[in-house]
Structure 1
Amino acid sequence: MALTQSLNRQLAVWASNLDLRKVPPEVVHATKLRILDIVGAMLGGLDTELVQQVSAATPPSGAPDAVGLPGFDIRTNARDAALLMGTMACVIEYDDSHVSTGVHPGSPIVATALALGQHLDVSGKQLIRSVLLGNELTCRLGLVAPGAFHRVGFHPTGMVGAFGAAYTAANLYGLNTEEIQNATGISGSFASGIMASWEDGTSAKSLHAGWGAAAGIEAVRLACHGVTGPAGVFEGRFGFYRAHVQNSDWMPDHGAAVSGLGERWELLNIAPRAYPCGHYIQPFIDAALWIAQHKHYDPADISKVVCLVADYMVPLICEPAAEKARPMTTWHARYSLPFCIAECLLSRSFTKHSLSPSQLVDHAHTVLSGKVGYEVNLADADRAKWSGEVRVTLHDGSVLKHRINHMRGTPENPMTEEDLMAKFMGNAQHIIAPQIAEDFVDRVMRLENQENVRTTLSSICRPGGIADLK
């Protein structure tokens, strides 16, 4: 698909003509797993301080088209529901990532789809189609500039996620090609998300997915009423990519967004997270846990730890070194390679309960975190692999090491369906009654047969579905 028309127009045409019946079954199945995984991540983030704060700011609604929220007994309007659900999904960093770009598509896209799906009383097939569309185009817009947003201080999930959410919302509202083009153009003025929270661990970053979802919904509503957006929102002189990555030596690859569109599915390269922390840290956690579970050592005998990292990972999980060694908040610790590795080597596990506030000031954690360093490994520069190696040196000079060539969750080292089911049940534990959680899993895996997603979600969005285990 050549760029004879604007990229905005080409994607709008493709989006308006997407026929779920022509989509490969494995793509549909992967989309259902993405929905289940992200709902689980929402439940996993339910009890965090930020989610409770955002829920307190969310206006309740008794309107017939009000939207339910997983784990909550309140209902609200669709846009505020999308903001809250997107925040829930990413707050403990347990959602997903597109391997080549580091974009987290699932949180904004599924939040948008669940909010509007209930609001509009859509079928399961319509929900699948909207999530599939949003995930695919979010990944592809990330491919236009892989790594470029991070380098200049923008969070790509907040940036391209707003466009993906708009495609999802437009699909559910049934917009035509012209309206989709306008909604996408409007989204260019709404897309946002700076990385300043990486410096001090504040919670604003965890709003990016939810804000992207809300922005996409608002862009579509405005387009429905005739508001116009620039056709050249992507490649124009003042377009999205040039406006944010202001580097005369860099050129966005707009063709990557349409190359093989509808034939090669980028959403199959979305990797679920095996652990609740920054995705670049995941292979190092697997390596450290292998050492912790297969080697004998006393943490007090550790002299130093060296992680072999790709150069593009360094600014996000390794530097500034002093900041990473002593994170200021739980979320801050989820993007600290030293602190996550210290937790693995001390606790010999890593779960959604890891990195508690008490651990941030625990002497053993802070001492061992200060011993964790890194070396850049040029052989790991391939963004499609996400490799990692951990080397633990003991005081007697012996070295314990392990390497992960492909991060768990990637196509080369996938999490199994059973892994994802177990992850969901773990996130639902103490929030949703076990039998209701199992029934919800079954409903999602048969989503194409569900007549109304409001009914599908009702058991986990009402007081009767909430476990009385809290």
Structure 2
Amino acid sequence: MRGTPAEPAAEVLARWAAGLRFEDLPADVVEAARRHLVDALGCAVAGIRRSAADPALAVAASLGGPPEARLFTGERVGAVAAAFGNAVAVHALDFDDTHPGGLVHAGAVTVPVALAVGEQAGASGPATLTALVAGLETVCRLGAAAPHGFHARGLHATSICGPVAAAVTAGHLLGLDAPTMTAAIGIAASAASGLLEFLHSPAGTKQLHPGTAAANGILAARLAAAGATGPSGALDGEYGLYAALAGRAPIRDVLLGDGWETTRIAVKPYPCCQLSHASLDAARPLAGAAPARVTVTLHPGAVPIIAGPEKRRPRSAYEAKFSVYFCVAAMLLDGRVGLDTFDRLDRADLLALAARIEVVAERGADVPARAPGVVEADGRRSVVDRPAAPDVRAKAAANLGDRAGAVFAAVDAGDGATGLLDAIEGCLT
């Protein structure tokens, strides 16, 4: 990708994305993209079944529009509305994938766009998958080029990087050439937003962020296709995305470098903030009797997100997912953390143990998501270098239910968006 040092990053990214072809994708990248497609679809079905995305799906259905694409629940609406509702469904349980270097939810802002615009365009399976990879690469690189830079300023990296990734995904399916894709990136970057203030409240605004990112990205691609323009300096210019929202220049070799970030996206084994996962893996061997004293060591960058006095007694299920106290206490008591862990916030034994957990900040990695998990309980110490990866299909099968086989078959057969959406609709009827 790279380009010359003088070229604006948006132009280099646009040229690469517009020219990407299925034949350019290494086999491991194709397999990774299919893995994250399966994971995202499973997370969406689980979120819908647990009513976690109901407000977004209701609004998406009410928007109507030309019947270009389907919500996962079956209603035909405009592609923008479909991507919005489906993206919220993917992220609603915070069970969807995360790229550790960028700390972005890659699948949530790309899979719904690939399916909505893919169905609208009648795209083939290879075309849909290629657009998905273009978007996955974009969102991961955008986040990783300023490691923890957006979060440190109170901004949600997924909703900052997501509109650009969604625009690239949609733009590829709409056949935008490089200059028009550059305009789409410039327009989408101006739609980047998303506050972390939800961390200090029981509000669920974070669940909505992938939806608005997906919708804004498709709008940007369509606007560019219609002749609207966007600045080529929207990413690395004087008032571009990084200068304005991260307060720093991007690491150009990360943003525009060689290699494939799609293969580095992590699938979540637990339905909670990824920054707790290494701690949960470290706590698992210590599970059993409730210890009298527990210490959890976190990267300093993780502390404002998953620790703090107000997080000892979460006020909502989503707030509990961002409480290392609640999550580690559940693991120590139950030996597991699953979707049902967050159904009861009033468990006396769990809250009593959460109140005894102390957090220590210690920099043990370059970014918070790569920090080791260190838990000490009554003198017993457990250390895990990095979170374990789950069996993706086993996780997806549990989320998809009895019709999981139809979804797997559609993915394995290389079906386009229409076939994939048929399979998902079957899971929810």
| TM tier relative to shorter chain | over 0.9
What code does the residue aligned with 1:454 have? Answer: T
Is 1:268 paired with 2:263?
A: yes
Runs of at least 5 residues in structure 1 that lack an aligned partner in the other structure: 394-398, 410-414
| Counterpart in the other structure of 1:439 | 406
Please state whether the residue corresponding to 2:388 is helix, strand or coil: coil
Structure 2 letter corresponding to 1:316: I
Deviation at 1:307, TM superposition (A): 0.8
Q: Secondary structure at the match of 1:391?
A: strand
Q: What is residue 149 of structure 1 aligned with on the other side? A: 150
SS at match of 1:96: coil
Map of 1:32 onto structure 2: 34
Distance 1:224 1:381, change over 3 A: closer
Percent identity between the two aligned chains: 29
Local SS of the residue matching 2:294: strand
Query: What are structure 2's unaligned runs of at least 5 residues?
Result: none
Q: Would you say the 8 A contact 1:311–1:381 is kept in 2?
A: no
1:427 matched to 2:404:
no
Provide the secondary structure at the position in 2 that maps to 1:56.
Answer: helix
RMSD: 1.8
Spell out, residue by residue over 1:302-350, the C-alpha distance to the aligned partner (whole angstroms, 9 max, x if none): 21111121122111111x2x21101111000001000001111222221
1:216 corresponds in structure 2 to 217
Residue in 2 that maps onto 1:403: 383
Q: CA deviation at 1:382?
A: 5.2
Aligned partner of 1:455 in structure 2 is: 419
Equivalent in 333, 345, 348 of residue 346 of structure 1: 333
- Find the aligned partners of 2:212 and 2:64 in 1 and give their Cα distance: 23
Distance in 2 (alpha carbons) for counterparts of 1:385 and 1:255? 20
The amino acid across from 1:298 in the alignment is: A
Match of 2:7 in 1: 5
5 Å-filtered alignment, 1:43-122, equals 43-59=45-61, 65-70=67-72, 72-122=73-123
1:66: how far off? 3.4
Moved runs in structure 1, 4+ residues, more than 6 A? 61-64
Give the stretch that moved more between structures: 108-117 or 400-409.
Answer: 400-409
Shift of 1:60: 5.3
Report the Cα distance in structure 2 between the residues aligned to 1:62 and 1:201, rounded to whole angstroms: 30
What is the aligned residue count? 427
Distance in 2 (CA, whole Å) between partners of 1:251 and 1:401 is 40
| Aligned counterparts of 2:165 and 2:64: Cα–Cα separation in 1 | 29
Give the deviation of 1:381 after TM superposition: 4.5
Deviations 1:197-256, CA, capped at 9 Å, x for gaps: 11102011111111111110000111111000011101211111111134xxx4432342
Q: Distance in 2 between matches of 1:51 and 1:76?
A: 17
- 1:351–1:50 Cα change, 3 Å: closer
Aligned to 1:396: none
Report what 2:282 is aligned to.
287
When structure 1 is superposed on structure 2, of 376-385 and 218-227 the one drifting more is 376-385
CA distance in 1 between counterparts of 2:56 and 2:422 reads 21
Question: What residue in structure 1 maps to residue 240 of structure 2?
Answer: 239
CA positional deviation for 1:438: 0.7
Q: What's the secondary structure of 1:361's corresponding residue?
A: coil
Residue of structure 1 aligned with 2:251, choices 244, 250, 253: 253
In 2, Cα distance between equivalents of 1:445 and 1:386 = 34
Q: 2:305 and 2:156 mapped to 1: Cα distance?
A: 11
Distance in 2, matches of 1:427 and 1:46, equals 10
- 1:373 and 2:358 correspond: yes
| Residue 312 (1) aligns with residue 289 (2) | no
Residue 121 of structure 1: CA displacement? Answer: 1.4
- Checking the alignment, whether the CA contact within 8 Å between 2:103 and 2:369 is kept in structure 1 is no
Question: Normalising by the residue count of structure 2, what TM-score does the alignment of the two structures yield?
Answer: 0.95
CA deviation after TM superposition for structure 1 residue 456, in Å: 3.0
Does the C-alpha gap of structure 1 residues 91 and 384 become closer, same or farther in structure 2, counting only changes over 3 Å? closer
Distance (whole Å) between structure 1 residues aligned to residue 153 and residue 312 of structure 2 = 23
